[in-house]
Structure 1
Amino acid sequence: MNTVKHLKGLSWQLLRKRPFLLKAAPYFPAVIAASWMGTYLDLYFVGRNLYEFPLRPFPDIFPINVAFTLFVLPLFTGMFLFLMNKMRKWGRAFFILFVSLIMPVVEKASELWGLFKHSNGWNHGYSFFGYYLFLVLIWGIFKRSKEK
């Protein structure tokens, strides 16, 4: 019977491979929460006529862009959490602030492309604070799910 031994001068630890689903498990609660929150917030704001989605799949059925809330938002949330998980505390704080600051610009660009339309009473400062709270909450959900 042959056994494999470490070289005496080698100080590397054995790499333990964790299955992908175990590594990704903490992401699922936060990504699903982001999708649900995005869906319900869109339904609320569209219902209040604060914004609308002129181009959306199944416009006769859904008043919101379900492609965004079911596919785009979870994808970007997963990427956001992956990057945040690699950063230190102050880096995370600045990253959340940075993403929150660029979201009003992204919204304005999406309005120019015809994907989004705000009411005249909308202030893009609302978007900054809304995304800031949203991202902090999603990060908190991720941290909690990672602890368990």
Structure 2
Amino acid sequence: MGKFMMNTAKHLKKLNWPLWQKKTSFSAKRQKKSSHQGAFVATIIFSSFTGTYLDLLFVGKHMYAFPARPFPDVFTINVAFTLLILPTFTALFLRIVKKLPQLLRILFIVLIGLCISISEQFGEKLGLFTHSEAWHHSYSFFGYNIFLFFIWKFYRWFQ
């Protein structure tokens, strides 16, 4: 009889019924959601600061410039991009990327880098920014790939 009970208990443990699974408390779920939201917000802020400092660095080195920008007498960079567009893009990027498996995540990041490299050329024609003659659009491709990779790693680390 004892051997029968032990085998039955083993089989019952293997069942994946909701009744047999340990329930997660409401506060544990809320805490987990809160930590994900905290990582999400921290990553968006990190992205904005990083983008701002990179723009300041490259504008200071005269690699590119923003002739059409808000508050041109105050800022040498386009603060609309670093404080509005980049955080919005980062939020959208994180929402999409966290649902993708690793290989698709890598391909998605490469695709974004390619799209940004191509769209920069259109932005130049519209007068949104100018690049120095030493600038190659492949810099943007590799730069955004590295930037997005670090944004993703920061998000995962912060969780």
Tell me which interval the TM-score lies in, with the shorter structure as reference length: 0.7 to 0.9
Aligned to 2:145: 132
Following TM superposition, the consecutive aligned residue runs of length 4 or more in structure 1 with deviations greater than 6 angstroms are: none
How many residue pairs were aligned? 136
Query: Match of 1:6?
Result: none
State the partner residue of 2:41: 28
One-letter amino acid of the counterpart of residue 38, structure 2: A
Give the aligned CA root-mean-square deviation in angstroms.
2.2
Shift of 1:120: 1.2
Q: Whole-Å Cα distance in 2 between the matches of residues 111 and 45 of structure 1? A: 16
Helix, strand or coil: the match of 2:70?
coil
Higher fraction of helix: 2
Query: Is 2:123 the counterpart of 1:110?
Result: yes
Query: Which residue of structure 2 aligns with residue 66 of structure 1?
Result: 79
Deviations 1:5-55 (A, max 9, x none): xxxxxx7xx9x7859x72522211211111111101100111111100011
**Identity across aligned pairs (percent)?**
45
Q: Which has the higher contact order (CA 8 A, sep 6+)?
A: 1
Q: Structure 2-normalised TM-score?
A: 0.78
The unaligned stretches of length 5 or more in structure 1 are 1-10
Partner residue, 1:99: 112
Who wins on radius of gyration, i.e. which is larger? 2
Given residue 143 of structure 2, which amino acid in structure 1 is its aligned partner? G
TM norm structure 1 = 0.83
Cα deviations across residues 53-92 of structure 1 (Å, max 9, x unaligned)? 0111110010000111011100001100110011111110
| Structure 2 counterpart of 1:55, from 68, 84, 87 | 68
Are 1:38 and 2:64 matched, yes or no? no
